[in-house]
Amino acid sequence: MLKASCSCCIPLARRAFLGGAIAAAATFSVGGKPAFAADPVSKTTLTPDQALRILKEGNDSFRTEAPYRAQQGRERRVELARGQAPFCVLVGCSDSRVPPELLFGRGLGELFIVRNAGNTVDTAALGSIEYGVGVLGCPLIVVLGHQSCGAVAAAVDVVEKNATFPGVIGEMVQPIIPAVLAARGQSSDLLDAAVRSNARRVAARLKTQSTVIQDRLRQENKLKIVAARYSLADGDVEWMEDI
């Protein structure tokens, strides 16, 4: 199972990442410590609830095939060359059937996406989420699971059939196993219950895994974390806000 690094090592690694990745950057403070912003552009002014409403409306348009115009033309590209100010960190699955910008009707520069099989959060993913929240100023984190997730299905097979997988696939699904165990008995469809359980669990753990995230959560109306589940069949996103 993937484990977070010790508390004495993580801050140094993150400071090195931020400092080395951004050569000409403006400074500001995260948790009382200096950090770096990618470019001197204004962060989004959206509140967490406003950001969430935009995603819900975008998914409604996608699901009903209503016309919408995503920001992706030349003028938008030129604007984004100066820097980015996304309004949501989206933790999603690598599954090719779940493209976040499309299913939420968003364009360039709006979503800061962290994707891997099973929408889990290891050290690299957590650092990316912290960057989106602490440096880019995103007011919303969405953890998006989806129907028929292959990584969750693999974890179900480990629990139910003691299955094994080649390479490091087995290690990759290890963090999902607690969600499968928690989902047992919740529904006749263990896989779908485990998808929901996994998204909820990852979202809930983000509230305790990171001091950067905790600092933002303590500030009134600055950050919200939501779990969700996407239906491949009908395009609908189910929101699980009570985590």
Query: For 211-236, how does the pLDDT look when each residue is reduced to its tens digit (9 = 90+)?
Result: 999 999 999 999 999 999 999 999 99
pLDDT tens figures, 139-176: 999 999 999 999 999 999 999 999 999 999 999 999 99
Percent of residues in the chain assigned helix, strand, coil, to nearest 5 = 45, 15, 40
Q: Where are the domains of the chain?
A: 10-240
pLDDT digits (tens, 9 = 90+) for 106-121: 999 999 999 999 999 9
- Dihedral over Cα of 230, 236, 240, 241: its sign: positive
pLDDT in tens, 172-211: 999 999 999 999 999 899 999 999 999 999 999 999 999 9
Which CATH code fits 10-240? 3.40.1050.10
CB atoms within 10 A of CB 188: 7
Q: What is the mean pLDDT of residues 52-57?
A: 98
What's the whole-model pTM score?
0.83
- Predicted local confidence at residue 40, as pLDDT: 63
Model confidence over 72-90: pLDDT tens digits?
889 999 989 999 999 999 9
